[in-house]
Structure 1
Amino acid sequence: MLSPLLLALGLLASPLGVHSFTAPRKIGAKISNSVTLDYGTFNGLTNETSKVIYFRGIPFADPPVGDLRWKAAVSPPTAHLGNVDATQFANACIPTTQTGSASGFSEDCLYGNVNIPLGTKTTEKLPVMVWFYGGGFQSGSTDAAPPDFILDSTAEPMIFVSFAYRLGQFGFLGGSKLNADGLLNAGLHDQRIALGWVQKYIQNFGGDPTQVTIWGQSAGAGSVMFHVRLFHAAMGDSPPLTFTPLFNESYVEDIFDKVASSAGCDPQAADAMSCLRSVSSDVLATAGSVTIAAQTSTLYPFAPVFDQTFINMRPIEAFNSGKFAQIPLLFGSNTNDGAMWGSKIPNPIANTSMPNATLDTVYNFLQGQYFHLTRKSFDQAVAQFYPLDSANGSFSLLGQQMYGELRYICTAVMITSAGANNEAAGKAYQYRYDNPHLGSNHAADLDAFYKPNKRSANDADQALFETMRKYWSSFVTGLKPVVKKGSVSWKPIVNGTGSPRLLLNPSQIAIEDDSTLDSLIQRCNFWHSIGDQLGA
């Protein structure tokens, strides 16, 4: 078994090696909108306008229901499926906010989508981009990531693939009972199995299994940090440093108990798991939403746990020790990645937008996300790195800056800096998305890839979006983010300080001055020095 190292980008280099991009394309028959695999024939949809053939809702595993709930997904599907209509997206995985049945969602949700350029030939061996959605491991779906804009912007042809994975209590329930009779981090295992599906079947769609780049945003970028193989490059937008507790510590056991009790099962009973597998999807969905509602100071109670097998090293330790994949990296963050989160907390003593907020409120907010964070460390951070006057006296802005850097911004710095320090690794590139016009909050950068035609976007925004799509797609097709005409040369990081970093702003695309990163690096170093308290 490969050592699942990885955490934080836990990525080991693909055993398949790096493919040469100078090899000529082979000539073969053009792929139609019907592709036959060994378990079915999938009939997709051809769009003559976008020049894309869509194969949607392809099952990559048996439904993870009944006895397969909290078990490793079985891939490929065990039954021959015959002729399958692959023109529509499948049901999305059930999010934690859902109570009971809802149209468009199902526990039977392990499906993927393969999107290929019109005219792709069977033997063409195109590079492959694999996308995993974000949503805090508690929500998200593949239909929110239309491939048309990226495929239209790429200078060289490539394939865009996306996969669903189990969420919330269905994919990230922990506890000793589940460990003894089930699979911890089932959602991450779904992703690993999906990547295996790519290795086995992508050639049928004209793709090259040795040229797979994995990409995700937020929880999707965090997912990239927990995989070890099956791709040769990695990208991540706003990668989160998540609290990753031991699978059986009290914090996790308490969540298990609440889910089980809410589902009508005795969490202490010997048959607790059998009971949980016997309840309906509706009952379990409701149990998850009830559990979420009870965690009034925590944004994402359901997330990966430290299972000591799939995840056997936490991110900070992995990057500090150099134990991560030696592959090309492209990671970055948004200027205001920490905005608005503190206002979403139901508990008023941890909601930083309350008019009577204090430093206590900010601490309660951060401690709600990082269970072991001590008040002493928080006070030290404020005294040395985050004085209140730096946030214009606003406790809301202070919480925003601390959380944004701790969770997202410093994680991108850590990943790319570690990549630059590893001489055997490929090049590492870092960016900062900053858009004063449309906003630079968490996930705002996804407009460039999936919603560039929103009404509020002006010409400068559109030009920035097009450049970003070209940078990202060229990294997939050539391992270097480049725009052939009229844009800044994106330089790789040359040392362990996260520099240079590319500023992506509609008024200018430029390499940021090193001085802009100096104080940030000091703050990041502080957070990473208390990794034991962050559970990361």
Structure 2
Amino acid sequence: MILISSLALLALLCFNPTLTRGQLNATVALDYGTFFGAVNETSGIVSYLGVRFADAPIGDLRWRAPVSPPTTHLGEVDATDYGPTCISTSQSLTVNFTTTSEDCLFGNVYVPIDADLSAPLPVLVYWHGGGYRGGNSHSYTPEWLMHSSTNPFVFVTFEYRLGQFGFLGGSLLAADGVINAGLLDQRAALRWVQRYIGHFGGDSSRVSIWGQSAGAGSTMFQVMANGGYNEDLFHAAMGDSPTMNYMPLYNDTYPEELFSQFASFAGCGGLGSETLTCLRAANSSVLTVAGNATVKQRTSTLYPFSPIIDGTFIREGPVEAFTNGRFAQIPVFYGSNTNEGAFWSAGLPNAAANTSTPNATKTTTYNFIRGQYASFTSESFEKALHLYPIEDYNNSLVLQEQQMYGEMRFICTAVLITGSATDASLDAYQYYYDNPHLGDYHHYELQAFFPSEETDFTPDANDEALFEIMRKYWTSFVTSGVPQAAPAPQWHTASTSDGSQRMRLQPGNVHMEDVTDGLSERCEFWHSISKEL
């Protein structure tokens, strides 16, 4: 983020000095600064990148609620390049700290080049994934989505604090700071949208939120936050592979131990009430190393730092919130992929929790799941084995574990959200991405939406046709509230407590299908032990 020179300002003003009907100016004046965007005639998009939406969460503002809008007037700002991304937990000090920073609360707004400010457009806000410990917004640009959409819309992405900066727990922090700072960053961003998106041609009354993986989990948490009071910040929610992470209370043993480990690695251990004073005075690089070291200590755990129950913003776990109707009463659109659970265990350094090792046993599977859900009991595991008989998976321990994990974490979460919305008489749409040709692993459906998403496989004509259908389904839900992609099949709302029927998205064979009784039974089991998850 840089201030532009007087000569650059003059050039920008001369480029597009007036605003007329049907023509969008590349200059937006807000009450805390004037932002000069970039006009791309090729893509047909005007972009405003690196727009600060909150003060830098550093120093005494570490682990506090974001201060938004910014308290300092920014003057004239060149908004043609991205701001820094938030520091990731796995980041090493060899990463360029000019591209990552604690000072990372920036957003990006993309507007159709021919937008008419007198006719505000629907708004789609997208949260990136990355396990709440990594990722950024820069890869998620809307060219394909906007070109496929029948109707225009404004697309917005935001950064949010990650890992130890965004999802640290513990009683000391609850007493002098906030839990789930990363989710509060997202909430502040949504309030920013309400206040300012009209200046960019967006309609603040027609905001949909969308994300993938941790981004889909984020939309889930925003829907259930504050007991379901969404402040009218958004009117619909979407999620690709919403994640059900471990949800202890902020002062349970697990988050307290994480906090103590992190503070010790940062050189602030054993200071009692002065611990946070020490941590807030530490250099970002020290906290980055400490977060990395904390994660490395958890050799059986993929994502130690995640949203937890804070008692205020997030008052209970997702299963309790959704099954009891304590969520925003809005339309929802969620789904998952066939092979969501593949490869996760294989990435763990602890062989005792890695089912891909030669000597793996069912105990290895239990260790893997317990590494993600610290309260998971051996009794519950034995019950799960009866629901996932290994004979159903070619006697493959890896395939059995993958199915368990994929369903308990992702697939059944989509079932929970859409089924609960259906029970509340809300419009709910569930999908199932099944692509044997390109693969249907976690995040692989994003190939349909973003140019940056690549895999080892090349789409063929059937894949490309499916992707166009998917883009139309997704964007029409944003612009009209109903996913439509004629002549593809009509997408019916779910009608049962398991989110059935759902749309199966398969190359050359897009169709509605029932959620099977077997899946419903397995999801009911996982949700029945929610206190362990």
| Range into which the TM-score falls when normalised by the shorter chain | over 0.9
Deviation at 1:100, TM superposition (A): 2.4
Matches within 5 A, 1:323-342: 323-342=326-345
CA contact (8 A) 2:140 2:452 kept: no
Match of residue 226 from structure 2: none
Tell me the residue number matched to 1:321: 324
Structure 1 position 497, deviation (Å): 2.8
1:195 aligns with 2:169: no
Q: 1:271 aligns with which of 244, 263, 274?
A: 274
Partner Cα distance (1:220, 1:278) in 2? 30
Distance in 2, matches of 1:40 and 1:121, equals 22
Matches within 5 A, 1:337-486: 337-383=340-386, 385-423=387-425, 425=426, 427-451=427-451, 456-483=458-485, 485-486=486-487
Secondary structure at the aligned position of 2:129 is classed as coil
**d(CA) in 1 for partners of 2:423 and 2:22?**
45
- Structure with larger RCO (C-alpha < 8 A, sep 6+): 1
For 1:72 and 1:495, locate their aligned partners in 2 and report how far apart those are by CA, in whole Å.
38
| DSSP-derived class of the 1:204 partner | helix
Q: 2:215 aligns with which of 207, 217, 220?
A: 220
Contact conserved, 2:92 with 2:289, CA < 8 A, in 1? yes
Q: Match for residue 177 of structure 1?
A: 172
| Range 197-206 or range 309-318, more displaced | 309-318
* RMSD (Å), alpha carbons: 1.3
Distance, in Å, in 1 between the alignment partners of 2:338 and 2:460 is: 20
State the Cα distance separating 1:495 from its structure 2 match.
Answer: 1.8
Structure 2 residue identity aligned to 1:130:
V
Q: Identify the residue that residue 81 of structure 1 maps to in structure 2.
A: 74
What is the TM-score when the length of structure 1 is the normalising length?
Answer: 0.92
Which of 151, 162, 169 is equivalent to 1:167?
A: 162
**AA at the equivalent of 2:119:** E
Q: C-alpha separation between the residues in 2 aligned to 1:440 and 1:69?
A: 39
User: Within 2, Cα distance between the matches of 1:368 and 1:300?
Assistant: 9
Alpha-carbon separation, structure 2, partners of 1:453 and 1:153: 17
Which of 22, 45, 48 matches 2:38? 45
Residue 511 of structure 2 corresponds to: 510
Q: Structure 1 residue 67: deviation in Å?
A: 1.0
**1:122 maps to 2:124:** no
- Cα shift at 1:190: 0.2
Per the TM alignment, residue 255 of structure 1 is displaced from its structure 2 partner at its CA by 0.6
Instruction: Report the Cα offset of residue 31 of structure 1.
Output: 2.2
Note the residue ranges of structure 1 that are not aligned, 5 or more in a row.
1-26
1:3: which partner in 2? none
Provide the secondary structure at the position in 1 that maps to 2:380.
helix
CA contact (8 A) 1:100 1:283 kept: no
Q: Give per-residue Cα distances to partners, 1:354-399, cap 9 Å, x unaligned.
A: 111100000000011111110011001102x111111111111111
1:143 aligns with 2:144: no
**Per-residue displacement from partner, 1:106-132 (whole Å, max 9, x unpaired)?**
111000000000021222210000000
What SS does the corresponding residue of 1:503 show, helix, strand or coil?
A: strand
Asked if the contact 2:57–2:63 (Cα under 8 Å) also holds between the matched residues in 1, the reply is yes
Query: For residues 226-305 of structure 1, what are the structure 2 equivalents within 5 Å?
Result: 226-227=221-222, 228-229=230-231, 230-305=233-308
Where do residues 35-114 of structure 1 align in structure 2 (5 Å cutoff)?
35-100=28-93, 102-103=95-96, 104-114=99-109
Task: Calculate the TM-score normalised by the size of structure 2.
Answer: 0.92
Contact preservation (8 Å) 1:41, 1:82? yes
Letter in 2 for 1:49: T
2:206 to 205, 211, 214: 211
Distance 1:533 1:258 in 2: 23
Give 1:508's aligned amino acid. Answer: N
Cα distance in structure 1, aligned partners of 2:442 and 2:310:
28
Alignment-mate amino acid for residue 527 of structure 1: W
Quick one: distance in 2 between partners of 1:263 and 1:101?
18
Shift of 1:269: 2.4
2:449 maps to a residue whose letter is F
Question: Is the deviation greater in 491-500 or in 142-151?
Answer: 491-500
Aligned length: 502
> Is the 8 Å Cα contact of residues 452 and 465 (structure 1) preserved in structure 2?
no
Following TM superposition, by how much is the alpha carbon of 1:267 offset from its aligned partner in structure 2, in angstroms?
4.2
Query: What CA distance in whole angstroms lies between the structure 1 residues aligned with 2:443 and 2:500?
Result: 23
Instruction: Tell me if the contact between 2:422 and 2:494 (Cα under 8 Å) persists in the aligned partners.
Output: yes
Alignment match, 1:528: 527
Q: Deviations over 1:5-41 (max 9, x none)?
A: xxxxxxxxxxxxxxxxxxxxxx946321111111111
For the residues of structure 1 that align with 2:372 and 2:25, how far apart are their CA atoms? 48
Q: Which amino acid aligns with 2:194?
A: Q
Percent of aligned positions that are identical? 51
Structure 2, unpaired ranges of 5+: 1-19, 223-229
Shift of 1:498: 2.0
Q: 2: CA distance between counterparts of 1:457 and 1:181?
A: 51
CA contact (8 A) 2:423 2:497 kept: yes
Counterpart CA distance in 1 for 2:332 and 2:343 is 28
